Amino acid sequence: MLTQISKSEIEKGLKLIEQAQTIAIISHRGPDADTIGANLALRLALEPLGKKVTSLCIDPVPENCQFMPQSTQFKQTFNYEDFDLYIIVDCGAHYMTRFHEDKPELLSKKIPILNIDHHSSNDNFGTVNLVQDDAASTTLILWHLFKSWNLTLTSYIATCLLAGLFFDTGSFQHDNTNADVLRCAADLTRYHANIPLISYNLFQQTSVNKLKLWGRILNRTHVNSKNIVSSVITEEDFTITGAKSKDTEGLIDYLTAVKNNKFAILLTEDFRGGIKGSLRTQGDTDVSQIASLFGGGGHKKASGFRVTGKLKEDINWMVN
């Protein structure tokens, strides 16, 4: 249920869509199945209404999301004045699109922004903000909104929505899987969401390069005296194994599987002079508070950050 989003805000969001003719839907940098699924589900729902819709993301669509319909239609550049509405999906803060770095006018709200998200770190950067921070995924929020807005669901739309939900709940294994999640999943299967296609692409395929990378990372996993599990990924690891940055997805879940851990952290060099930190917990630690110390954010159970620097091996790994 959308307990944190008022009926009036939902109506304002619909009004923005009704008044717009050319709409840009923006996904966050380093996209995953939730932000891609949300983007494409919206696109597929709005195009039959006569809207001209463009999907945008500063980074390419990852291989495991390319099964979704129209995933090849994403653009990485655009002209700000070409649209009369921007819908930004699954972005936990205003900077998560990275488009504002070259187009600061994007956040001026001269052209309205509809912000749809499920992160507690969201800073309400939209003209209208439809944010429910205890929702398991942004696609779950969209499922509720589609019902409220009387938008037609199709098999393709259901597949996109379920892909985001499937991904952000770890195929219904994470503790954000609740009754609302299962109701949504059940409803989407009524519209013939393609579960085998989703499951295969998101969780059941891998490469030898990825296995080699994971072997190196798992081999250096460390548990300290406070039961914090950590490991690192260096640029050299990617070079030696031939793996890509996308091949790290899901790895941290193995770190959090270590018995009695407080939380897990994975540090990754990103070839841009920075280090990406991923934090996960199955316990009571609010890792979003830890991420916020480094300018990041996310959820209580799963958060991240990025800092400038290189990894240096001491007795343990640290940011230099």
Q: Furthest-apart CA pair in the chain: how many Å?
A: 61
Domain that holds residue 140: 7-202
Q: Is residue 320 part of a domain?
A: no
Whether residues 173 and 281 fall in one domain = no
Q: Is residue 2 part of a domain?
A: no
User: Tokens for 122?
Assistant: 């969201």
- Can you give the pLDDT at residue 145? 98
Q: Is residue 145 part of a domain?
A: yes
Tell me the CA end-to-end span of the chain in Å, nearest whole number.
Answer: 44
Whether residues 167 and 304 fall in one domain = no
- Can you give the pLDDT at residue 283? 87
Q: Identify the CATH number of the domain in which residue 229 sits.
A: 3.10.310.30
Whether residues 181 and 216 fall in one domain = no
Q: What is the pLDDT of residues 1-34, one digit of tens each?
A: 899 999 999 999 999 999 999 999 999 999 999 9
Whether residues 13 and 127 fall in one domain = yes
Whether residues 81 and 173 fall in one domain = yes
Q: State which of 202, 230, 252 marks the end of a domain.
A: 202
Whether residues 171 and 271 fall in one domain = no
- Can you give the pLDDT at residue 297? 84
Q: Identify the CATH number of the domain in which residue 169 sits.
A: 3.90.1640.10
User: Tokens for 260?
Assistant: 């009695």
Burial of 197 (0-12, 13-18, 19+ CB in 10 A): middle
Q: Is residue 122 part of a domain?
A: yes
Give long-range contacts, CB 8 A cutoff, 24+ apart: 46-50.
46/17, 46/151, 48/152, 50/21
Compute φ and ψ for 69, nearest 5 degrees.
Answer: -60, 135
Whether residues 173 and 224 fall in one domain = no
Whether residues 300 and 226 fall in one domain = yes
Q: State which of 149, 169, 202 marks the end of a domain.
A: 202
Whether residues 196 and 219 fall in one domain = no
Whether residues 183 and 266 fall in one domain = no
Q: Is residue 51 part of a domain?
A: yes
Q: What is the pLDDT of residues 281-298, one digit of tens each?
A: 988 899 999 999 998 888
Q: State which of 167, 202, 237 marks the end of a domain.
A: 202
Whether residues 187 and 62 fall in one domain = yes
Distance CA 308, CA 314 (A): 18
Q: Is residue 259 part of a domain?
A: yes
- Can you give the pLDDT at residue 155? 98
List, for the chain, all residue ranges whose pLDDT scores fall below the cut of 70.
314-320
Task: Confirm if 266 and 230 have CB atoms less than 8 A apart.
Answer: yes
Whether residues 159 and 223 fall in one domain = no
Task: Confirm if 213 and 241 have CB atoms less than 8 A apart.
Answer: yes
Distance CA 92, CA 124 (A): 9
Nearest CA among 246, 251, 201 for reference residue 230: 251
Domain count, the chain: 2
Q: Is residue 277 part of a domain?
A: yes
Task: Confirm if 210 and 217 have CB atoms less than 8 A apart.
Answer: no
